[in-house]
Structure 1
Amino acid sequence: MESDIQRYLNRLLHEKRYSDHTVKNYRRQLEKLLAFCQNVDYNNWQQITTQDIRMLIAKQHRQGASPSTCALLLSASRRFLEFLLSEKKIKVNPAVGVRGPKKAKRLPKNIDVDSLNHFLDQMPEDEPLQIRDKAMMELLYSSGIRLSELSGMDVNDLSFSDQTLRVLGKGNKIREVPFGNSAQKILSRWVKERNQLIKNNQEKALFVSQQGNRLTNRAIQQRLSHWGKHLGLNDRLHPHKLRHSCATHVLESSSDLRAVQELLGHASISTTQIYTHLDFQHLAKTYDAAHPRARKKKD
């Protein structure tokens, strides 16, 4: 059984060109699978059942392994057993269909309203690229759009008359989202500056580089990171954080989950529930003030 594992790891290393680090990770996980088999006195891979795989994952979880670690063990076992199936060492892959413990949904951090307002207000607007960078940040925070939606935006997607923009989201779905007065003011200035940078009249991109080309996702991330550090923002600034801050602040003020879902372009309301979160104290205060059975009786 050990020789089968070694052959599989050799294949990953030499044929699949996996890195040494990845192969070592696979080795660690498959050693757990082998130890389990030896512990129940199995002497060939054919004896492993689906129930055994479930028991192995459950045991690891009980011993403190995180859902991510359990998922790695399950993935490594499934792929190894698939390899054995291709070599006719087993007749079925017992790991197919087995699910690991559910991973907790990680919420991105948002920036509090006062810190974000202070940060945006102190952004310089003296040079064309400074105006561009502030316009990008104002739009990300004002509308809660994704990084890819920002980089893919064209000038014609903006409507200053009703302060909306047309967004091409996931699944090539188009939606219209509003943007605020602060974003409108800086965007109006940027469109004028942009026209001075454009060298090719065929370029439609709203946000362009100094050379007049559409900004890449990576370039936008770098500009936000630069300003976050330059202006002393405590947390690392990236587009997703501005999107999340927009959603959180709108939800805290309105409590309208459906409106936030539409703003963010989520297909499912459950995604919005995970993606945004109300501060518990804010929620508790609202509840205490609003619910008739929560109000404290006067003596």
Structure 2
Amino acid sequence: MHGYGQVITAYLEHLRHVRRVSSHTVAAYRRDLDAAAETLAARGCPDWQRVSAADLRDLLAARHRAGAKPASLARLASSLRSFYTWQMREGRAERNPAQDVRAPKKPAHLPSTIDVDDLAGMLDVEPDDTLAVRDHALLELFYSAGARLAEVAGMDLADLDLAAGEARVIGKGNRERTVPVGSRARTALSRWLTERGALAGVDEPALFVSKRGTRLSRRSIGLRMERWALSHGLPVHLHPHKLRHSFATHLLESSADLRAVQELLGHANISTTQIYTHLDFAHLAKVYDAAHPRARGRAEDE
């Protein structure tokens, strides 16, 4: 491995003394590059300059077949890209064969959903104080709108239109979208708005505020959600994204309209969102009203 080892040593010295990365990071690069060099040498590549993109893809594929985890493969691919970038800058290489080499994607692990009946048991309650009224409205909004934690935490009073059953949220990439607010959520939010003045500062724009009268933080929302689930007997751990995933799953189970659900969720993937640009909110609201378990029901009769 002489043709490989000297270059690795020089690169690690660069990381250590020029970039001043941590010893842990240097050790990780050493493991990745030493292992890659050993495999490549065994395949007949005499040095780093003779390595092709196909060689590196074969290397990652072999590691994948041997059981390497996607995260480890992604780190190896990243290490090789950075290593070759440095070699080109130092005049040690004329090309970067790792530039377009990507590791197998890590499979998406969606959070488990919450049973509709379990959710109903947790939400069909009568809150007995101001903070409980706020938390109940929070939970109903999360499940009604399928919103992200940051989106709900960032909502202002001006973003909510209860009469229309809509709310404006700012999603990833500062993209704005309209989300539905079902009848159960409207009832809970109306009650919160009557109580909000007891906590909120005069000039506070936030929809949800803390005991101090300022915007409720993301961390506080998560903690309050966990506490609510425990105190109301929910048999599973609760967090905002689990409600978002339950929202999507329950709608898909009822409507089978994947396009509408993706639009309602505000997916960031441009190739996905472009497919659904012809869907307007009226269509989405129709799907929502017909399918969401808390869009209609007893609240309309109470």
Conserved 8 A contact 1:225-1:236: yes
Q: Which of 166, 169, 173 is equivalent to 1:167?
A: 169
**What is aligned with 2:221?**
220
Cα separation, 1, equivalents of 2:155 and 2:66? 49
Conserved 8 A contact 1:175-1:265: yes
Alignment of 1:112-127 (within 5 A): 112-122=115-125, 125-127=127-129
* Segment of structure 1 superposing worse, 167-176 or 93-102: 167-176
TM-score where L is the length of structure 1: 0.81
**What is aligned with 2:26?**
23
Q: Are 1:61 and 2:58 counterparts? A: no
Stretches of structure 1 lacking an aligned partner (at least 5 in a row): 273-299
Alignment of 1:1-299 (within 5 A): 1-122=4-125, 125-199=127-201, 201-266=202-267
- Tell me the amino acid that sits aligned with residue 27 of structure 1: R
TM-score where L is the length of structure 2: 0.80
- Tell me the amino acid that sits aligned with residue 143 of structure 2: Y
Identity of matched residues, %: 49
Q: What is the root-mean-square deviation in Å for CA atoms of aligned residues?
A: 2.4
Q: Residues 114-167 of structure 1, C-alpha deviation per residue, up to 9 Å, x if partnerless?
A: 111112235x62221221111111100011111121011111222222322122
* Segment of structure 1 superposing worse, 190-199 or 242-251: 190-199
Conserved 8 A contact 1:258-1:269: no
Cα separation, 2, equivalents of 1:179 and 1:53? 50
- Tell me the amino acid that sits aligned with residue 161 of structure 2: S
Cα separation, 2, equivalents of 1:271 and 1:22? 36
- Tell me the amino acid that sits aligned with residue 116 of structure 1: L
Measured after TM superposition, the shift of residue 198 of structure 1 is 1.9
Aligned residues: 270
Measured after TM superposition, the shift of residue 32 of structure 1 is 1.5
Measured after TM superposition, the shift of residue 111 of structure 1 is 0.8
Measured after TM superposition, the shift of residue 176 of structure 1 is 2.3
- Tell me the amino acid that sits aligned with residue 133 of structure 1: D
**What is aligned with 2:282?**
none
* Segment of structure 1 superposing worse, 84-93 or 58-67: 58-67
Stretches of structure 2 lacking an aligned partner (at least 5 in a row): 274-302
- Tell me the amino acid that sits aligned with residue 226 of structure 1: R
